[in-house]
Amino acid sequence: MPWSELGRVLIVSPHPLFREGIVRLLGDQAEVVGVVASLAEARSAIRKHRPQAIIVDHENVELEEADLAPLLWPELESVRIIYVTLAGNEMIIHDRQRVVAATEKDLLDALKGASYKRQSPKESLREAHPRPAQRAPEIPERGGIMRKLTVPLLITVVLSVPVALWFWRTDLTPELAAREGQPIDFLLRLEFAIAGVIFVLCMVFFFYSLVVFRRAPGDLEDGPPVHGSTPLEVAWTVIPAIIVIGLASYAAGILWDIMPTTGYKDELVVDVTGFQWGWRFEYPDLGITSSELVLPVNRPVLFRLYSVDVIHSFWIPELRIKMDNIPGIENHLRLTPTKVGEYKVRCAELCGTAHAYMLAPVKVVEQSAFEEWVKSQTAAAPAPPTGAAGVDAQAAERGRALAQQFGCLGCHSTDGTKLVGPTWKGLFGSTRTFQDGSTRVADEEYIRESILNPSAYVVEGFPDVMPKNFKDQLSEDQIRDLVEFIKTLQ
């Protein structure tokens, strides 16, 4: 190998052993043009000898690229700076490829490496943290950036169309059964379509960058330093702000339209009381109390919402709007059911142990069917059932209505089916076993106590979730009627 191949080399180290070692290592493969100890000496040596490579004793010389920069340009067009550290038994070369535990051959290879061009001293000095022998960052020109954006933007546009359409056309919500739900569904579709486009935009740029700007094999170099872009930051703050404010004002307008504070004429008033854990529906103008909600189709309804204990939330998903039942506050909700069908009220506010079971049937029916239902509810109490011995048949019939009204039948069946609570069929007179293993015969007193203080006896195999506040809601007479009713279920 001719000596000229490795070119002119300057060695900077205060340490004679280091200097000599390197000189010996290079042998006649390189022309060592100078051996200096400090930065000051290095300056004049560089001017004088114009080395092609500079080997710096990195441990002992505080000589960084930034210090050399003013010397290297414009006098020297290209130079290679190699920082070498001797640590223990190892030689560590800080080149752009950061070889750890280097061998002699690594040093020669580093010297052999292609010389490279500097752009300008300013460019290099911009790096706050000096990077030994790193290639100047390639910052593309403005036109170049636009060209780079064309492809991902095109892909975004092409993919956005089907994604937005898909969100627009997919039914994200259950079937719609109220007039007020139409603009809500429209808004939801619009928001999902916009979110879909933004999602595509992010994903396309993410995967495009991942693939197109991936590391070339063998390239261990750091990327160019990027210090942010003001126009970009302004854009990604202002554009989302416009979208959010726009959607919010639009949504506020919709809310204004569908939540009138004055009544519709001919609206049906229903008082909805939530309790732990059930619903009671009262029709004050019709004198009806029921545990199921029956509504005539296409007639506006005013729901007046109450709670007797904690906050509940009245929600029929098919009618879309939900509103809280808050103790001590009367909330108003207006809806117009538009579709005959059977739905469910769900409590949408976590309200205690049996929250999940706080359901009530909803029937939207034709006007004629509604009138029939009203008639059946308000008709004089039907003839008492053939009374079993010792049962007050009229009281039992009143008890059946109370069990409906107070939501007992949401948790207790009368036909043997196991619901949240034990069935009432065959309850009276049977021997009950409780969680603590004790037993008791279910007489009238036991049933009374079970209603007033449900935690006193917790039936084996059932959770202690029966509402504790019936003693505040039911009179002594009503409890007696309930007991009479349970006695008939043999």
Q: Using the minimum distance from each CB to Cu ion, give the nearer residue, 36 or 351.
A: 351
Structure token digits, residue 323: 């509103």
Q: Binds 351, which of ligand HEC, Cu ion, none (CB < 5 to 8 A, cut-off by type)?
A: Cu ion
- Report the residue number, 43 or 432, with the smaller CB distance to ligand HEC: 432
What token pair was written down for 28? 């006649």
Q: Which of 47, 51, 40, 44 is nearest to 11 (CA)?
A: 51
Range 365-404, binding ligand HEC (CB under 6 A): 403
Give the Cα separation of 25 and 15 in Å (integer).
Answer: 15
Does 358 participate in binding Cu ion (rule CB under 5 A)? yes
111 makes contact with ligand HEC (CB under 6 A): no
**Residue 63 vs residues 45, 68, 327, 356: alpha-carbon distances, Å:** 14, 7, 76, 72
Partner whose footprint covers residue 362, from ligand HEC, Cu ion, none (CB < 5 to 8 Å by kind): none
Among residues 451, 481, 484, 489, the one that binds ligand HEC under rule CB under 6 A: 451
- Per CB under 6 A, does 200 bind ligand HEC? no
Which entry of ligand HEC, Cu ion, none binds 410, CB below 5 to 8 A by partner kind? ligand HEC
- Contact mark string toward ligand HEC, 223..262, x via CB under 6 A: ----------------------------------------
For residue 302, the minimal CB distance to Cu ion (Å) is: 21
Q: Out of 73, 199, 250, 462, which residue is the one contacting ligand HEC (CB under 6 A)? A: 462
Three-class secondary structure of residue 123 per DSSP? helix
Backbone phi, then psi, for 251, in 5-degree steps? -65, -40
- Does 346 contact Cu ion by CB under 5 A? no
Element (H, E) at 396: helix 393-405
- Residue from 53, 305, 351, 459 in contact with Cu ion (CB under 5 A): 351
Q: In terms of CB distance, is 51 or 454 closer to ligand HEC?
A: 454
Measured from the CB of residue 327, what is the shortest distance to Cu ion in angstroms?
12
The SS3 of residue 75 is coil
Q: Which of ligand HEC, Cu ion, none does residue 7 bind (CB under 5 to 8 Å by kind)?
A: none
Residue 457 binds ligand HEC (CB under 6 A): yes
Q: How far is the CB of 279 from Cu ion (least distance, A)?
A: 9
Taking CB atoms within 8 Å and a gap of at least 24, the contacts of 35-39 are 35/10, 35/11, 36/10, 36/11, 36/12, 37/12, 37/13, 38/12, 38/14, 39/12, 39/63, 39/67
Q: Which of residues 306-325 bind Cu ion (CB under 5 A)?
A: 312
Residue 467 interacts with ligand HEC (CB under 6 A): yes or no: yes
Pairwise CA distance, residues 77 & 196, whole Å: 52
Of 482, 484, 487, 489, the one binding ligand HEC (CB under 6 A) is 482
Q: Is the CB of 110 or the CB of 465 nearer to ligand HEC?
A: 465
Distance CA 346, CA 325 (A): 12
Confirm if 311 and 326 have CB atoms less than 8 A apart: yes
Task: Please count the other Cβ atoms lying within 10 Å of the Cβ belonging to residue 490.
Answer: 12
Sites of contact with Cu ion (CB under 5 A): 312, 347, 351, 358
